Amino acid sequence: MNNRVFIFSLFLIIVFSGIFSNAQDKKIMYGNTPDSIFPYNNFQKAYKYHFIEPRIEFLGAGREKKAPTDLTEVRIGFLGPLENSPIVDLGKQMLNGSILAIEEANALGGYKGIPYKLMIHNDVGLWGAAANEVIQMDDEKVWAWLGSIDDIVSHVALRATLKCEIMMVCTGDPDPTFTETNIPWTIRVISDDRQSSYALANYIYRTMKHDRIAVIRTGARYGRVGVMEFLGVANRLGHPISMEERFAEMGETDFTMQLKNIKNEKPDAILIWGNAKETGLIVNQIREMGMNQPIYTSDRAVSDEFLKIAGDNANGIVTTCQYDPTADNPSLKKFQADYYKRFGMEPNVFAAHAFDGMNLIIKAIEKAGLNRVLIRDLLTDRETFQHYKGVTGEIILDASWNDVGDIFMAKVENGKFVFFPAAQMKERGHSTRMVGY
């Protein structure tokens, strides 16, 4: 009898020690990715997992450099689509958010009495051009910089900023691969398309119980990479996409050919991944062709432009948004009022996140002093600004310095977006107790 009690007790200890050892998994969950949708996880443990603590640090020199004593302005860089780009409207909002943060900081005395100055650079959306802009920022001796939205621009700029060793705070590019590069010179303070895809997939397949989804997306990298995560999640949840159609990034206004194919496929619902204008036009043409399926879209539909183009057809559309602009948040209300007063327009998601991102840069400069590496150290330490409460909500960075804070669903009702929290996928994060860790 005593033997049995002993053996049973030993059994319980071993079993529960295994359970307790999983407690740290929550802390290190990469990209909020549950086991069930982690790549290959249902079939094969990977030999090596990346982006999990202990993560990479910048171990180069530079912390020893003294701050200059003869400055008349403290320069911060800005890179965004301001000319010759299909997303100029988004870039201008991002610039406005940055300007507002700079002006507020200067009204409070700047950096020890020295005013901040925004060094504004246009990204033209062409391959490689962003690299030259970052080099210019290095020549201008900026202390950190903010940008951009276009994923091509951001990737090219990221590699250049590594070479120049200038901290980059990204507030607009949702490309999931942007922070999957192991470069220790950036943080992203906006939810990416991985988070949007998880939220959309959860809503579409688990809440709405759809099975067969057809996708129509822009042929630009934003569409290709953005929808990639959704396709992966759909597969792993057991609902492979039944059809994927593409359209041109600019200039295409008639989507009949793609929509005919989708109509013949008779999907349960349709997902559109593109900019606001094209998304609005596609919604209209879907309804004109007599298709009554529920429509879901990528987050760029959250705009006045989309509502104006789609009109009544917008009602019922569901998408995601990286923050809740209707949240009962006093700092958000103040930001919205100040922004309207300064620029005569409502801020959008890119303005709000740029305001938060620029404030993080300013706070880091004021805390670290004028040293690029020390500014980087503060922004990336996941302590100083972890859980920072900005106008967009709480910023939480995972081990790849990607924002995994809350994301929201947005549904059009009576011509307006109504926001509500996205349901979380509740499974435990993938275990790191395997070879390589």
Partner 1 sequence: MKTNLILTIFIITVFLITGTSSFGFTKSGNQTNAKGEGNIPKYGNWKNFTVADGLPGNKAYAVRVDGDRVLVGTHEGLAVYEDDKWTTYTTEDGIAHNGIIAIDVSELTGDVWLGTMGGLTRWSGGVFESFTQLNSGMPNNLIYSVVCDGKDVWIATGGGAGKYDTYSKEWDIFTEQNAPMHEPWTYSVCAGDNKVWIAAWGGGVIEYNNKTKHFRDYVDPDGNMEIDLFPDDGVVHDITTAVSWSNGILWVATYFGLSRYDGVHWKGYFDHDSGLASNFINFVRAVGDYAYLCTDQGLSVTDGESWVTYVRNENNHDGKVIITTGEQKSEKKLSPSISHNFVIGVDVKDDVIWVATSYGLSRGERIN
Residues making contact with partner 1 (CB under 8 A): 3-4, 7, 10-11, 14-15, 18, 30-31, 39-40, 44-51, 56, 58-62, 126-132, 134-135, 138, 152, 155-156, 159-160, 163-164, 177, 180-183, 221, 433-437
Which is it for strands 74-80 and 144-147: parallel, antiparallel or unpaired?
parallel
Q: How far is the CB of 48 from partner 1 (least distance, A)?
A: 4
Cβ count near 182 (within 10 Å): 11
Of 1 and 108, the one with the shorter C-beta distance to partner 1 is 1
Both tokens of residue 24? 């740290």
Secondary structure (3-state) at 250:
coil
Tell me how far apart the alpha carbons of residues 20 and 434 are, in angstroms, rounded to a whole number: 16
Of 39 and 311, the one with the shorter C-beta distance to partner 1 is 39
Of 38 and 335, the one with the shorter C-beta distance to partner 1 is 38
Of 59 and 107, the one with the shorter C-beta distance to partner 1 is 59
SS (H, E, C) 159-176: HHHHHHCCEEEECCCCCH
Angle separating helix axes 349-368 and 330-343, nearest 10 degrees: 110
Q: How far is the CB of 57 from partner 1 (least distance, A)?
A: 8
Q: Which residues contact 340 (CB under 8 A, 6 or more apart)?
A: 346, 347
Of 227 and 310, the one with the shorter C-beta distance to partner 1 is 227
Of 7 and 418, the one with the shorter C-beta distance to partner 1 is 7
Cβ count near 145 (within 10 Å): 30
Q: How far is the CB of 164 from partner 1 (least distance, A)?
A: 8
Q: How far is the CB of 432 from partner 1 (least distance, A)?
A: 11
CA 294 to the chain's CA centroid = 25
- Please give the full DSSP string across 255-288, using - where no structure is assigned: -HHHHHHHHHH--SEEEEES-HHHHHHHHHHHHH
Find out whether 184 and 58 touch, Cβ atoms under 8 Å: yes
Q: How far is the CB of 221 from partner 1 (least distance, A)?
A: 8
Of 15 and 107, the one with the shorter C-beta distance to partner 1 is 15
Secondary structure (3-state) at 218:
strand
Q: How far is the CB of 124 from partner 1 (least distance, A)?
A: 12
Of 23 and 435, the one with the shorter C-beta distance to partner 1 is 435
Q: How far is the CB of 128 from partner 1 (least distance, A)?
A: 2
The identity of residue 363, as a single letter, is K
Find out whether 214 and 243 touch, Cβ atoms under 8 Å: yes
Q: How far is the CB of 136 from partner 1 (least distance, A)?
A: 9
Of 41 and 384, the one with the shorter C-beta distance to partner 1 is 41
Of 11 and 340, the one with the shorter C-beta distance to partner 1 is 11
Angle separating helix axes 193-201 and 221-236, nearest 10 degrees: 40
Of 121 and 277, the one with the shorter C-beta distance to partner 1 is 121
Find out whether 428 and 34 touch, Cβ atoms under 8 Å: yes
Tell me how far apart the alpha carbons of residues 269 and 285 are, in angstroms, rounded to a whole number: 15
Q: How far is the CB of 170 from partner 1 (least distance, A)?
A: 16
Cβ count near 150 (within 10 Å): 29
Beta bridge partners of 144: 167
Among the listed residues 278, 270, 324, the one whose alpha carbon sits nearest the alpha carbon of residue 300: 278
Q: How far is the CB of 53 from partner 1 (least distance, A)?
A: 14
Tell me how far apart the alpha carbons of residues 185 and 377 are, in angstroms, rounded to a whole number: 9
Q: How far is the CB of 59 from partner 1 (least distance, A)?
A: 5
